[in-house]
Structure 1
Amino acid sequence: MTISPLFSKALLVALTTCLAMTTHAHTPLAETLSARQQALVSIAALTAKGDLPHLHDALAQGLDAGLTVNEEKEELVHLYAYCGFPRSINGLNILLKVLDERQAQGKKDVIGKAASPITSTAPKYERGKKVLEQLTGRPEKEPKTGYGAFSPEIDRFLKEHLFADIFERDVLTYQERELVTIAALVSLGGVEPMLQGHLDIGLHTGLTATQLQQLMRVMEAAVGKQEADAGRAVLTKMLATKPK
């Protein structure tokens, strides 16, 4: 019997996820990524890669792992900031297809909490700046240097839109958004400085080095060893800067 490449990859994803969970069976729970967290990582990786057939399976598996419809939708919206509207909208269309199929199969997925309205009247730039400081644990430097000084517009867009409009939404936690962001950046490749920064933020939001290493194993199953190894190299470099 001939096994299709698509089936083989889906089987590898499932087996690797099971192996990762088994390998850490005797590790404290806080040191492992939950099934929900692993699903967030796989969905982000495959969305950024544009691998729609496997994204279809990952979205279904995420719902089975406990993600709500609104959490998956929020993840796909969040991802447009990192991999663009085309990838994000493709992902949303695949999610619609998955939901229609599951409804036809008689499955009742949990819709989940919708985003709460933002009631703050503070300027969006200041709100976004505060969110970024919470994420990094460091005050924002003023005056701006580097790209922020060269292009004040991009600094404003980042603060007002990414960190205010998007990160302020409460469907996903900061930690979950960082898992999604890290996975997307590893999948994209070639963005090592940004990846190192977000890995550092991941630690600040409460992720452990062990969990980030596990994330790379999930990435290897989802999109490939080359991308995961490149991510591991950045993670190793970032961890080397931390006090022992």
Structure 2
Amino acid sequence: MKKLTIQLLIGLLLITSGFSKKLYADNTNKTSKELSVKQQNIIPIAAYTAVGELEKLKPALNDGLDTGLTINEIKEAIVHLYAYCGFPRSIRGLQTFMEVLDERKAKGIIDETGAEASPVNDNRTKYERGKANLEALIGRPLDGPQRGYAAFAPVIEIFLKEHLFADLFDRDILTYAERELVTVSVLASIGRVEPMLRSHLAICLNLGYTPEQLNEFTGIIKTTIGKKAAKNAQAVLNEVLENRE
């Protein structure tokens, strides 16, 4: 009986290890008081793209490449943010990135392309995968009847689960934590979406970002987008931290 129990435990660990590795792949800085250089560079790239500040985006893209972000990681960040600020901003960001890469290539700079997204080997429906991904992000099951906007317009809830949280989050070029950093950078920059920013800052904490790191995030928003955006983001963050205590 004891041998069988051990075998069952090993089986469960094997089943869940792949998902846990994916979810917490860069969740190694829980005790750090600072964002990594890579994380620091994701923020201005996402922020400038979101508000259409393309001339400011160019040096941010150069900084990102110079400090270790791969071409595919930056592309993925710019693609991901369309879900929060629209295709026009995302596409203009990608076009600007193409210009930067051409300029760097003309100077003889060879940048690392990076990994492509791995194939998704999962027999569940996209809705089921998206629901499971979202549950992992928020740290609780999503049971019971739909409420709020999801009950008012059920189709958007389906789109969110199947596309955003399945199609996009299943792409492992960026980790969940990196995708959430892109998300809060966009939401803090475009403004007037406090409920969404509140939810995603809470997710950042669930994924292992520390309060110190999120305070650093609002500081970077201040130096990129400005004092007003940073003040609003800080107020939302303070509320999230107070409610978490």
Query: One fold, TM greater than 0.5?
Result: yes
Mark the CA change 1:29 to 1:146 in structure 2 (over 3 Å): closer, same or farther. closer
User: What is the identity percentage for the equivalent residue pairs of Structure 1 and Structure 2?
Assistant: 53
1:86 aligns with: 88
Q: Secondary structure at the match of 1:31?
A: coil
1:133 aligns with: 135
Q: Secondary structure at the match of 1:116?
A: coil
**Which runs of 5 or more residues in structure 2 are unaligned?**
1-29
How many residues are aligned here?
A: 216
Structure 2 counterpart of 1:178, from 177, 180, 186: 180
Q: Which amino acid aligns with 1:48?
A: A
Q: Which amino acid aligns with 1:73?
A: K
RMSD over aligned Cα, in angstroms?
Answer: 1.0
Structure 2 counterpart of 1:44, from 28, 43, 46: 46
1:161 aligns with: 163
Structure 2 counterpart of 1:53, from 52, 55, 76: 55
C-alpha deviation, 1:89, in angstroms: 0.2
Q: Which amino acid aligns with 1:82?
A: Y
**Which runs of 5 or more residues in structure 1 are unaligned?**
1-27
2:191 aligns with: 189
Structure 1 counterpart of 2:118, from 116, 121, 128: 116
The two structures have a TM-score, normalised by structure 1, of 0.87
Cα deviation digits, residues 21-67 of structure 1 (max 9, x gap): xxxxxxx9722111110110110110111100000110111001100
Cα deviation digits, residues 84-111 of structure 1 (max 9, x gap): 0000000000110000000111111000
Shift >2 Å, 4+ stretches:
none
Q: Secondary structure at the match of 1:77?
A: helix
C-alpha deviation, 1:141, in angstroms: 3.0
Output the CA distance in 2 between the equivalents of 1:142 and 1:125. 16
1:238 aligns with: 240
Output the CA distance in 2 between the equivalents of 1:118 and 1:29. 32
Output the CA distance in 2 between the equivalents of 1:87 and 1:142. 36
Cα deviation digits, residues 181-240 of structure 1 (max 9, x gap): 000000010000000000000000110000000001111111101000000000001111
Q: Which amino acid aligns with 2:190?
A: L
Q: Which amino acid aligns with 1:40?
A: I
1:101 aligns with: 103
Output the CA distance in 2 between the equivalents of 1:219 and 1:145. 32
Output the CA distance in 2 between the equivalents of 1:57 and 1:102. 12
2:230 aligns with: 228
Q: Secondary structure at the match of 2:86?
A: helix
Output the CA distance in 2 between the equivalents of 1:173 and 1:206. 12
